[in-house]
Chain A
């Protein structure tokens, strides 16, 4: 795929996910940055899971764009590559096992999330960047027998 094709592909993905504003017409430099961020998520995934993604992430976003809409939206936010890997894993079926968030005015934003993959491996994601705490707004929040269950990761309404 040429740079121009990749830019058009990205714009289409962002438009469909309701975040087209994040990639302006003709903004090739922005497109290159997003492509680098997509590659950074691939690299972080391989680092954390000790295996590469099943296929290039850009290809997955194209082929499963609707299903991966929450992840496309995450590229328009300022979440880190590590947190985007977490989003990807949850969308692909990982279970949210534990969430801890510690915030103190002008002092601290500390997020720790443990997830369990389908092969029973547990991964921990930690961040002290406030922007990563944005993910807390996307979890499905449920109860069973009065006990809390966080399940799934869902997109914001598209404008």
Chain B
């Protein structure tokens, strides 16, 4: 079970933002493993992972050892900073990291600014739940 700090971008979000999130993290965590509920866990550079425009959430583990550690032991002092959880909501795109001042927290902080700057484009992927209602 994850704990830690919540970081978010306010406003309706959708899978396109999760897609961009994972692609952006791919440029840094080249050997990450990505877990999307209901789908197999895949390497971040797998040809079967994308697009993620339908995902409601994703767990991005820094590398295979981190994924295996989380799977086996859950949260430990050694793996706490090795996972980022992103989820899409009607009112925000939300991230959970161990600590906003940790390396993963700083990555997410930089990512949030990128997501905000791309919202004019990304919100074109699917209607928000409000719009679809």
Residues of A within 8 A of B (CB): 64, 66-69, 91-93, 95, 117-119, 138, 140-145, 149, 151-152, 154-158
Given contacts A92-B51, A152-B23, contact A140 B118 (CB under 8 A): yes
Main secondary structure of the interface of B (DSSP, over half): loop
Is the pair A93, B46 in contact by a Cβ cutoff of 8 Å? yes
Question: Is the interface on chain B under 10, 10 to 19, 20 to 34, or 35 or more residues?
Answer: 20 to 34
B 87-124 contacts with A by CB, 8 A: 110-111, 114, 117-118, 121-124
B residues less than 8 Å from A68 (CB atoms) = 51
Complex CA gap A145/B111 in Å reads 11
Q: CB within 8 A of A154: which of B50, B54, B121?
A: B121
Say whether B27 contacts A144, CB under 8 Å.
yes
Contact present for A152 and B46 (CB under 8 Å): no
- For the complex of A and B, the 9 pairs showing the least CB-CB separation, nearest first, are A157-B124, A118-B47, A93-B50, A142-B114, A151-B23, A67-B51, A140-B20, A156-B124, A152-B23
Q: Bound state CA distance, A69 and B123, in angstroms? A: 13
Q: Cβ of B20: which chain A residues have Cβ within 8 Å of it?
A: 140, 142, 151-152, 154
B127 interface contact, C-beta 8 A: yes
Residues of B within 8 A of A (CB): 16, 19-20, 23-24, 26-28, 45-51, 53-54, 110-111, 114, 117-118, 121-127
**Cα distance, A149 to B123, chains bound together (Å):** 19
In the complex, the answer to whether A158 meets B54 with C-beta atoms within 8 Å is no
A60 to chain B, nearest CB (A): 12
By CB atoms of chain B within 10 A, which of A119, A138, A149 has the most? Answer: A149
Contact status B47-A93, CB under 8 Å: yes
Question: What residues of chain B lie closer than 8 Å to A118, measured between beta carbons?
Answer: 45-47
* Cβ contacts under 8 Å, A152 to chain B: 16, 19-20, 23
